[in-house]
Amino acid sequence: MPITLKSASDLEGMRIAGRLAAEVLDLLAEHVRPGVSTERLDQIAHDHMVNVQGAVPAPLHYAPPGYAPYPKSICTSINHQVCHGIPNERPLKSGDIVNIDITVIKDGWHGDTSRMFIVGEGSIQAKRLCQLTYEAMWRGILKVRPGARLGDIGHAIQSFTESQGYSVVREFCGHGIGRKFHEEPQVLHYGRPGTLDELVPGMVFTIEPMVNAGRREIRELGDGWTIVTKDRSLSAQWEHTVAVTADGCEILTLSAGSPPPPAFAGG
Ligand code: MF3
Ligand code: CO
Ligand code: CO
């Protein structure tokens, strides 16, 4: 399957889906506090997507080849969980870090974004990991423009992350997105500059680095979805959906509550 390019009118649809996904994170932000369960966050998000936004939660019953259908509407990955954590009844506690990953389908278009949240009072190491992973995502985003290559994005993320003494997860990557949740191309978060596909206007994909405080190796839990660090070190992830434009990049998953870009990106 080739990379599908999105037309101007396709992008109008994707802009709406992207903003809605980000607005679910804005809504959840005020609910993430000690004592709340991720199950409750899932209910709040599901209700908002379906009944307020008129959107479909893309994760619910999503079943890529080799996977059982995903049972919930959002992904919540806590502490040493890397990604695809399944919401449950356990209450969050002060000091936890949690990635909430939201994907909505609106009028057939997908928007996919995630942020880190620190529950109550976070440790210095936890805050540093979350901040550094945010900066890593932004270093990738700043490479996006026509003529650049996918390897430029991966290299920017990997070289920064490893220079800080952290590691990049290899088994999961960003992805093309549109009428399908996961399309070509794969957007690796590591690599060499000047390699892989050239970016052209109309490409839309996610950048979603997973960064571990310890070693990069991961394993899957018995639930068939949740990914954790092998060494049980903390892991963080941020995700935006971006479009390649004629002269650079448009982030499709911004909302009123999006954190500002880091200083080096003009924020
Ligand atoms: N939202 C995730 C991503 O960024 C995918 C989650 S698949 C699910 O690609 F089934 F777990 F929801
Ligand atoms: Co994604
Ligand atoms: Co996602």
How far is Cα 166 from Cα 158, in angstroms, rounded to an integer?
Answer: 9
23 C-beta closer than 6 A to ligand 1: no
pLDDT tens for each residue of 118-170? 999 999 999 999 999 999 999 999 999 999 999 999 999 999 999 999 999 99
Among 46, 56, 77, 84, which is best to mutate for testing ligand 1, by the most ligand atoms less than 8 A from CB?
Answer: 84
Identity at 161, one-letter amino acid code: T
185: preceding bond cis by omega (within 30 degrees): yes
pLDDT tens for each residue of 4-50? 999 999 999 999 999 999 999 999 999 999 999 999 999 999 999 99
Mean pLDDT score across all residues of the chain: 98
Calculate Rg over the CA atoms of the chain: 17
Residue 54 CA, distance from chain mean position: 22
pLDDT of residue 267: 84
Instruction: Look at ligand 1, atom 11, and give the residue with the nearest C-alpha.
Output: 84
pLDDT tens for each residue of 47-82? 999 999 999 999 999 999 999 999 999 999 999 999
Return the sign of the alpha-carbon dihedral for residues 203, 72, 64, 56: negative
- The DSSP line for the chain is -PPPPPPHHHHHHHHHHHHHHHHHHHHHHTT-STT-BHHHHHHHHHHIIIIIS--EETTTT---TTSPPP-SSSEEEETTEEE-PPP-SPBP-TT-EEEEEEEEEETTEEEEEEEEEE-SSPPHHHHHHHHHHHHHHHHHHTT-STT-BHHHHHHHHHHHHHHTT-EE-SS--EEE-SSSSSEEEEE-SS--TT-SPBP-TT-EEEE--EEESS-S-EEE-TTSS-EEETT---EEE-BEEEEE-SSSEEESS--TTPPPPPGGGT-
Q: What region does 147 belong to: left with phi over 0, alpha with psi -120 to 50, or beta?
A: left
Name the β-bridge partners of 251.
242
Question: What b/e readout covers 124-141, taking b as 16+ CB neighbours within 10 angstroms?
Answer: eebebbbebbbbbbbbbb
Question: What are the residues whose beta carbons fall under 8 Å from the beta carbon of 162, sequence distance 6 or more?
Answer: 168
Among 46, 81, 103, which is best to mutate for testing ligand 1, by the most ligand atoms less than 8 A from CB?
Answer: 103
pLDDT of residue 1: 76
Structural domains present in the chain: 8-255 (3.90.230.10)
How far is Cα 226 from Cα 145, in angstroms, rounded to an integer?
Answer: 33
In 3D space, the residue among 245, 126, 121, 112 whose CA is nearest the CA of residue 187 turns out to be 112
Nearest ligand, measured from the Cα of 57 = 1
Nearest ligand, measured from the Cα of 226 = 1
How far is Cα 5 from Cα 179, in angstroms, rounded to an integer?
Answer: 11
Percent of the chain with pLDDT over 70: 100
Instruction: Look at ligand 1, atom 2, and give the residue with the nearest C-alpha.
Output: 101
